[in-house]
Amino acid sequence: MEELDEGRFSTKALEDFKLIDMAVVGDDKAYAKLLTRYKRPVYHMILKMVRNTDDAEDLTMESFSKAFRSLHRFKKDFTFSTWLFRIATNNTIDFIRKKKLNTLSIENTYTDDDGQSVSIDIQDQNNDPQEEAIKSQKAELMQVFVGMLPPKYQKLVRLRYFHELSYEEIAIELEAPLGTVKAQLHRARELMYDLIKNKKEHI
């Protein structure tokens, strides 16, 4: 345990340090408390940068995944919030740079030579390691991970992994285009995989 000059830090910062110590040794509730405490301010900061609510939700979860994965390396030289906001800012800047290089979203449509609107679909991947990792998780642990996802993904993931519906059945259930369902499930899988990987590294 590090020696702390407690006078330098607010009560909230000192509470964060205790939660971090608990999280590093595998306390899921400590992770959840840190997430609950900072999710909204991180989301609003990212939203100002990307001006898109869907991207802001995804980037918020990515930022927490990166922070939680590195939590064991956190030094109590400054507050957790300062460290977290730096990670979130850098991650969002990287996203903005990549988006400028590749602005075509898998959910976009484009117009073909005949002037018809064509939806861009993504290929199914067989033996996807992310899919396998998610399927291997115990049901009760999966519920914890699903609860951490942005709300728009939670129903998709539950239909896919708890009710074991096909992409086509989910599209019918949600009255959504098949391409959109595949794209959003792909994104949800990436976020879930990050959360699972983070958890395994601390077991």
Contact between 168 and 185 (Cβ < 8 Å): no
What's the pLDDT band for 64 if we cut at 50, 70, 90? very high
Q: Is residue 67 packed enough to be buried (19+ CB in 10 Å), middle (13-18) or exposed (0-12)?
A: buried
Q: What is the pLDDT of residue 113?
A: 42
Rounded to 5 degrees, what are φ and ψ at 91? -65, -40
Q: Is residue 36 predicted with pLDDT exceeding 60?
A: yes
Is the pTM higher than 0.75? Answer: no
Q: Which of 6-10, 62-66, 107-111, 142-146 is the most confident on average?
A: 62-66
C-alpha distances (whole Å) from 18 to each of 22, 76, 103, 126, 129 are 6, 11, 42, 43, 34
C-alpha distances (whole Å) from 90 to each of 15, 62, 67, 126, 160 are 25, 11, 12, 33, 32
Whole-number Å distance between alpha carbons of 13 and 137: 33
* Residue 136: HSE in the Cβ half-sphere, 13 Å Cα cutoff: 11
- Reply yes or no on domain 128-203 having CATH 3.40.50.2300: no
C-alpha distances (whole Å) from 196 to each of 42, 130, 140 are 21, 10, 13
Q: What is the pLDDT of residue 132?
A: 66
What's the pLDDT band for 114 if we cut at 50, 70, 90? very low
The amino acid occupying position 72 is H
Domain range 1-103, CATH class: mainly alpha
Q: Is residue 3 predicted with pLDDT exceeding 60?
A: no
Mean pLDDT of 128-142: 64
Which is higher by pLDDT, 197 or 43?
A: 43
Domain boundaries along the sequence of the chain: 1-103, 128-203
User: What value does the mean pLDDT of the chain take?
Assistant: 77
Mean pLDDT of 42-58: 87
Q: What is the pLDDT of residue 175?
A: 86
Whole-number Å distance between alpha carbons of 55 and 121: 19
Which is higher by pLDDT, 32 or 104?
A: 32
The amino acid occupying position 153 is Y
Instruction: Give the strand pairing for 117-119 and 109-111.
Output: antiparallel
Here the tokens at position 128 are 């996807």
Task: List the single range of 69-73, 122-126, 157-161 with lowest mean pLDDT.
Answer: 122-126
